[in-house]
């Protein structure tokens, strides 16, 4: 088996071992297997990437087996390592391993410890299939698989019906997107005759194949991507997904799974480069999602919900970059986002751990001195997401803003305006979160206050590593690294001169957000509370998340339930199916009842019937010789 | 008509009359005797064929039919006795318990 | 001439016996009392025995009278004597299916006679004593010994059944 296959298979082995034998083998064993195998995968991945770079970056293809041969076309299971998947695989295995280590501390007292690690490893397996797959088919298997793992992990504490419902919502919303993805896959196959993505890109590079609209494919694929990456209108599952344990939120709903949509667009950039309309859709939806989610995040009171909406918003940024042709920049933001968002989520987990399970930020405060490591790492990551230099978030966000304005492939001023407003809001609400959680007077119960303690080293160690990455990660320029295969778009001539000023504007936005947050939320949020009554209707709208869930329920949920009950249940099931079966049974019964009248018990009748039979048989044989 | 045809027709007639008797008579014992008549009709036809073809097979079969008829009567009569003990009637109309 | 006279006598006797058997059979289904029905049957059987004798199978004729009349019909007569209560309840001789029965009877006769009228196979020339008791016995010992043994089994079964019924009767 080649190195790539090992990278993918090791977490699968972890899933099987922990899943089948974990309960009997004890928590220490589960931890060693559950964390060790992903770390091993990471090391092999690092080695493979090094080998790739040393070998001139020609993509490495490993075919595992041929899945099917249908009419002369073969569908193979193969893995593909080029620069893009190198970046992704390192992030997935690296950040993934860190989060596994964190989980040993966070989930330590949970009774389903082994099941948790089994599911985490399963997720890792599918995610690696997704990023290393050569064919869209393998990618799709990984795509569905991470959806499954997400469902299992969101509903991990399934005895609580709300949590189980959140898992269902995630899975179902994903499936709606997947319909689009499948249609896109069909079209790609129809156009090119293969599902191998490198070959698809090459075919499109030579010109759009006849009879196929690249934009149509692009839109369909983007529908799938918005399901997975929580863009409007399929974003509704991500906030509810916070019902799962915090490491799950960090790994799946911040660092890796939700970025699968961005990866998809970047991987199939060959198609999107020829699909102007689709790219415009991508960019527009992305920036609108970013703005919309940021507004909702302004008023959230659950620490994880703020981060969830923040994730949706940042994903919107990534799609904005991809929509204007700057695929490398989108991937750059994926990487930096993985660092600081994972750190933020895990930090939130640490806070929740310290607060004995409390998640409402209105009941926190004055934690900075009590849990210093958590505070420090959280603060660094907050600064990173706000875009303060020289942290990683500054570099990636600045690039996005620049290309949103200046790209000749769809960049425009209004994209920049919306994106900048979002950046300002991002900085604002993130610092609001920081202030309310860590500063000001303590607003918690006595009981809880007593128990506040710093988390164990398995958790804080990971936080420190991630914070360092969030701080320094920006210096490794991924767009440059990816440029040989994902060229950056040209800049519009009239926008050329704006590069310098934009840099300062970006810094200004970040600092401005910080100052505003300090202004309103310092001093125990005095000014914010004073301002609240005057903005009551807006506040209600935002707290209600623009009432989108209610809208879906009214427009889709209730009619579908009505149809299911009245038409399918009553007419289809009870009347047609049960009715026909009961009818057949009744027919048999009535028929038998009538036939039984033949048995009169009268011997004479029987003898007569024998006579009649004999006569009949003789006549018949007479006739037929 | 020649001998064989006459005897065959007689055997057919005996058989048919026996069957008719089973259908029309109500007395249990008379029905039994009509069944014996049917057997006799068959015996006659067997003997006729045996005579015609000159083989002993026919006679052998006739003898076996004798034995079977005897055994049949030996068992049927006790059954009739038991039935009559229960229903105290020889009329077949009393015996429609298997109706249904 | 004696031969032709004897041959004529043969045929006459045959016709007479056949008519007798037929009349006995018809009487069987018409007579009201079972004892008289039994008598009619006995007469039919005796006439049949005569026919067998005329056909040259004397031993079969002997068996007919010995077994059928002597054993079976005697048994029937015993039972009739035992059971027939001269019960006024049994008034009607005939069942409800009289008419359909007669119709069916006519059809049956029609069909059977029609089937056998022309199709009787050609008779090979045979001598008088084509088979006698000796060939009959030899056939049983040679080819039909199994059937013979099986009939004894059948008879044993019948005896057992009869004894069982007697026991049942006695206990009840």
What is the rounded radius of gyration, in angstroms, for the C-alpha atoms of chain C?
Answer: 21
Whether A472 has a pLDDT exceeding 80, the answer reads: yes
- For testing contact with chain B, the best of C13, C16, C18, C30 (most B CBs within 10 A): C18
Residue C94 is predicted with a pLDDT of 78
When pLDDT is averaged across residues A111-140 and rounded to a whole number, the result is 92
Q: Measure in Å the smallest separation between the Cα of C4 and chain B Cα atoms.
A: 16
Lowest mean pLDDT among A450-459, A496-505, A588-597, C120-129: C120-129
Residue C88 is predicted with a pLDDT of 55
Partner-chain contact C93 B16, CB within 8 Å:
no
What's the pLDDT band for A290 if we cut at 50, 70, 90? very high
Please tell me which residue, C97 or A172, carries the higher pLDDT value: A172
Residue C89 is predicted with a pLDDT of 52
Residue A493 is predicted with a pLDDT of 78
Say what the ipTM of the complex is: 0.92
- Other C-beta atoms closer than 10 Å to the C-beta of A368 total 17
Whether C96 has a pLDDT exceeding 80, the answer reads: no
Residue A443 is predicted with a pLDDT of 80
Residue A124 is predicted with a pLDDT of 93
Whether A391 has a pLDDT exceeding 80, the answer reads: yes
Whether C85 has a pLDDT exceeding 70, the answer reads: no
pTM for the model: 0.70
Residue labelled with tokens 């799946």: A252
A597 at interface of B, judged by CB pairs closer than 8 A: no
**CA nearest to A608 within chain C:** C101
Cβ-based contacts under 8 A for chains A and B: 31
A28 at interface of C, judged by CB pairs closer than 8 A: no
DSSP bridge pairs for A69: A74
Residue A265 is predicted with a pLDDT of 92
Looking at chain A, the whole-number percentage of residues with pLDDT higher than 90 is 35
Listed ranges A108-112, A130-134, A533-537, A545-549; the one with the highest mean pLDDT? A130-134
Residue labelled with tokens 């620069």: A83
Residue from B7, B5, B66, B15 nearest C136 by CA:
B66
Q: Measure in Å the smallest separation between the Cα of A611 and chain B Cα atoms.
A: 8
Partner-chain contact C85 B90, CB within 8 Å:
yes
To the nearest whole number, what is the mean pLDDT of chain B?
A: 89
Q: Which residues of C5-44 are buried (b: 16+ CB within 10 A; e: fewer)?
A: eeeeeeeeebeebbebbbebbbbbbebeebeebbbbbbbb
Residue from A35, A117, A114, A109 nearest A461 by CA:
A35
What is the rounded radius of gyration, in angstroms, for the C-alpha atoms of chain B?
Answer: 17
- DSSP helix/strand/coil, A47: helix
Q: Measure in Å the smallest separation between the Cα of A603 and chain B Cα atoms.
A: 8
Instruction: Confirm if A208 and A296 have CB atoms less than 8 A apart.
Output: no
What's the pLDDT band for A491 if we cut at 50, 70, 90? confident
What's the pLDDT band for A459 if we cut at 50, 70, 90? confident
Residue A96 is predicted with a pLDDT of 92
To the nearest whole number, what is the mean pLDDT of chain A?
A: 87
Looking at chain A, the whole-number percentage of residues with pLDDT higher than 70 is 99
When pLDDT is averaged across residues A598-605 and rounded to a whole number, the result is 85
C105 at interface of A, judged by CB pairs closer than 8 A: yes
Lowest mean pLDDT among A277-291, A323-337, C119-133: C119-133
When pLDDT is averaged across residues A300-318 and rounded to a whole number, the result is 92
Lowest mean pLDDT among A204-218, B55-69, B75-89, C122-136: C122-136
The Cα A394–Cα A386 span in angstroms is: 7
Residue A406 is predicted with a pLDDT of 83
Lowest mean pLDDT among A299-308, A381-390, B76-85, C116-125: C116-125
Q: pLDDT by residue (tens digit) across A14-63?
A: 999 988 888 888 888 888 888 999 999 999 999 988 888 887 777 888 88
What's the pLDDT band for A498 if we cut at 50, 70, 90? confident
The Cα A87–Cα A85 span in angstroms is: 5
B-chain residues near A601 (CB < 8 A): 95-100
Q: In this complex, which of A604, A608, A611 lies closest to B92 when CB atoms are compared? A: A604
The Cα C109–Cα A175 span in angstroms is: 80
Instruction: Confirm if A104 and A458 have CB atoms less than 8 A apart.
Output: yes
Subunits close to B (at least 3 CB pairs below 8 A): A, C
Q: Measure in Å the smallest separation between the Cα of B91 and chain C Cα atoms.
A: 7
Instruction: Confirm if B30 and C119 have CB atoms less than 8 A apart.
Output: no
Tokens of A324: 């204007």
Q: pLDDT by residue (tens digit) across C23-72?
A: 999 999 998 888 999 999 999 999 999 999 998 889 999 999 999 999 99
Whether A495 has a pLDDT exceeding 80, the answer reads: no
Residue C45 is predicted with a pLDDT of 97
């Amino acid at each position: 088996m080649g190195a790539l296959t090992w990278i993918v298979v090791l977490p699968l082995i972890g899933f099987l071992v922990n899943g089948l034998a974990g309960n009997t083998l004890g928590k220490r064993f589960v931890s060693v297997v559950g964390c060790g195998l992903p770390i091993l995968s990471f090391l092999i991945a690092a080695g493979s990437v090094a080998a790739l770079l040393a070998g001139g970056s020609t993509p490495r293809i490993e075919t595992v087996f041929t899945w099917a041969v249908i009419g002369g076309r073969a569908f193979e299971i193969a893995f593909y390592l080029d620069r893009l998947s190198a970046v992704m695989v390192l992030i997935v295995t690296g950040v993934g391993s860190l989060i596994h280590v964190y989980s040993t501390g966070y989930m330590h007292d949970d009774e389903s410890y082994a099941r948790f690690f089994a599911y985490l490893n399963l997720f890792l397996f599918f995610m690696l299939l997704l990023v290393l797959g050569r064919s869209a088919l393998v990618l799709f298997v990984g795509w569905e698989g991470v959806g499954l793992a997400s469902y299992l992990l969101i509903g991990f504490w399934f005895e609580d019906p709300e949590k189980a419902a959140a898992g269902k919502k995630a899975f179902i919303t994903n499936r709606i997107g997947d319909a689009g993805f499948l249609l896109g896959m069909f079209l790609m196959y129809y156009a090119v005759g293969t599902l191998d993505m490198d070959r698809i890109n090459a075919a499109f590079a030579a010109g759009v194949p006849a009879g196929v609209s690249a934009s149509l494919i692009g839109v369909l694929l983007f529908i799938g991507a918005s399901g997975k990456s929580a863009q409007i209108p399929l974003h509704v599952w991500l906030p509810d997904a916070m019902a799962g344990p915090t490491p799950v939120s960090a790994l799946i709903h911040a660092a890796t799974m939700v970025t699968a949509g961005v990866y998809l667009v970047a991987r199939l950039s060959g198609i999107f480069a020829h699909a102007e309309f689709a790219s415009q859709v991508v960019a527009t939806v992305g920036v609108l999602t970013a703005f919309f989610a940021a507004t909702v995040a302004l008023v959230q009171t659950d620490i994880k919900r703020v981060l969830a909406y923040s994730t949706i918003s940042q994903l919107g940024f990534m799609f904005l970059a991809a929509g204007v042709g700057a695929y490398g920049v989108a991937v750059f933001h994926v990487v930096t986002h993985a660092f600081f968002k994972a750190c933020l989520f895990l930090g939130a987990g640490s806070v929740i751990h310290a607060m004995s399970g409390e998640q409402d930020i209105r009941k926190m405060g004055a934690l900075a001195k009590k849990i210093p490591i958590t505070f420090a790492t959280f603060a660094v990551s907050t600064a990173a997401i706000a875009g303060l230099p020289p942290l990683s978030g500054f570099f990636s966000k600045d690039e996005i803003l620049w290309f949103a304005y200046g790209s000749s492939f769809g960049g425009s001023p209004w994209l920049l305006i919306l994106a900048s407003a979002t950046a300002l809001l991002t900085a604002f609400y993130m610092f609001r979160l920081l202030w309310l959680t860590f500063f000001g007077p303590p607003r918690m119960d006595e009981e809880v206050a007593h128990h506040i303690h710093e988390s164990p080293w398995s958790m804080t160690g990971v936080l420190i590593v991630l914070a360092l990455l969030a701080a320094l990660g920006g210096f490794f320029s991924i767009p440059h690294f990816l440029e040989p295969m994902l060229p950056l778009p040209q800049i519009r001539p009239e926008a050329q001169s704006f590069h310098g000023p934009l840099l300062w504007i970006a810094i200004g936005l970040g600092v401005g957000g910080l100052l505003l947050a300090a202004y309103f939320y310092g001093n125990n949020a005095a000014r914010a509370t004073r301002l609240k009554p005057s903005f009551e209707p807006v506040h209600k709208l935002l707290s209600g998340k623009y009432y989108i869930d209610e809208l879906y329920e009214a427009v889709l949920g209730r009619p579908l339930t009505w149809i299911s009950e009245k038409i399918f249940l009553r007419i289809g099931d009870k009347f047609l199916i049960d009715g026909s079966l009961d009818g057949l049974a009744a027919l048999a019964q009535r028929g038998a009842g009538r036939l039984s009248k033949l048995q009169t018990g009268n011997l004479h009748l029987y003898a007569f019937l024998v006579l009649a039979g004999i006569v009949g048989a003789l006549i018949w044989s007479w006739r037929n010789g | 008509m020649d001998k064989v045809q006459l005897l065959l027709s007689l055997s057919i007639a005996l058989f048919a009359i026996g069957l008719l008797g089973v259908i029309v008579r109500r007395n249990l014992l008379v029905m039994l005797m009509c069944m014996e008549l049917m057997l006799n009709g068959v015996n006659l036809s067997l003997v006729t064929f045996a005579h015609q073809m000159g083989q002993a097979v026919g006679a052998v079969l006739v003898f076996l039919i004798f034995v079977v008829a005897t055994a049949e009567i030996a068992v049927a009569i006790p059954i009739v006795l038991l039935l009559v003990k229960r229903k105290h009637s020889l009329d077949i109309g009393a015996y429609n318990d298997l109706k249904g | 001439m004696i031969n032709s006279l004897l041959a004529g006598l043969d045929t006459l006797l045959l016709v007479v016996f056949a008519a007798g058997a037929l009349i006995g059979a018809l009487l069987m289904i018409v007579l009201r009392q079972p004892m008289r029905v039994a008598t009619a049957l006995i007469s039919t059987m005796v006439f049949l025995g005569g026919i067998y004798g005329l056909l040259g199978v004397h031993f079969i004729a002997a068996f007919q009278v010995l077994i059928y009349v002597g054993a079976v019909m005697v048994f029937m007569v015993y039972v009739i004597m035992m059971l027939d209560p001269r019960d006024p309840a049994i008034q009607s001789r005939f069942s409800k299916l009289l008419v359909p029965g007669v119709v069916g009877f006519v059809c049956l006769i029609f069909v059977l006679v029609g089937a056998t009228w022309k199709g009787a196979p050609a008779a090979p020339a045979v001598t008088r004593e084509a088979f006698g008791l000796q060939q009959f016995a030899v056939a049983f010992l040679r080819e039909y010994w199994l059937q013979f043994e099986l009939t004894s089994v059948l008879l044993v079964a019948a005896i057992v059944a009869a004894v069982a019924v007697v026991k049942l009767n006695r206990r009840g």
